[in-house]
Amino acid sequence: MGIYDITANLIDGTPQSIGDYRGKVLLIVNVASKCGFASQYAGLEVLYRRYRDDGFAVLGFPCDQFAGQEYDDPNAIQQFCTRNYGVSFPIFEKVNVNGPNTHPLFALLKAEKPGLLGIQTIPWNFTKFLVDRQGKVRRRYAPTDTPEMIERDVAALLRHASSITAH
């Protein structure tokens, strides 16, 4: 199974095929409203607005697996993102990114791009995966890697798929 074969529900419960993003550069992020890194929503929105017309999308996946830092109510998640950060990129339903109930998208992302020492587990909220136009995971970024630090890689992938070296 490839990334484009996976479906996830948007925050309103509508099924969304990742295949609908075929041909775009994607930044897939596990997010949490009450996380200390939540201010990264602002930078993610800047990246999304700056590059969306060039074929770029940010996909936000709320996760409550790290210290219970996400709201239970989908409306509260959406309102938090919109009210505090003006988020216009797609936000999906809460998912698990680790453990036996890991969402298939994150199982694939982790398998294609494990973390340090080959460890697949996601360590915290705001772990990011950069996916090229062909659906290949090109880079994995730590929660502390800000959107501003990632912008150069996003721009390079949008210009030339071969510009980013897979680490």
Active site (annotated) includes residue 35? yes
Pairing of strands 56-62, 25-31: parallel
The CATH classification number of 3-163 equals: 3.40.30.10
CA–CA dist 89, 57 (Å, integer): 7
Task: Report CA Rg, the chain.
Answer: 14
CA–CA dist 134, 149 (Å, integer): 23
| Sign of the C-alpha dihedral computed for residues 81, 86, 87 and 93 taken in this order | positive
Mean pLDDT of the chain: 93
Residue 167's pLDDT band (cuts 50, 70, 90):
very low
Tens of pLDDT, residues 21-40: 999 999 999 999 999 899 99
Q: Which of 32, 35, 58, 91 is catalytic?
A: 35
CA–CA dist 60, 30 (Å, integer): 6
Tens of pLDDT, residues 78-98: 999 999 999 999 999 999 999
* pTM of the full structure: 0.93
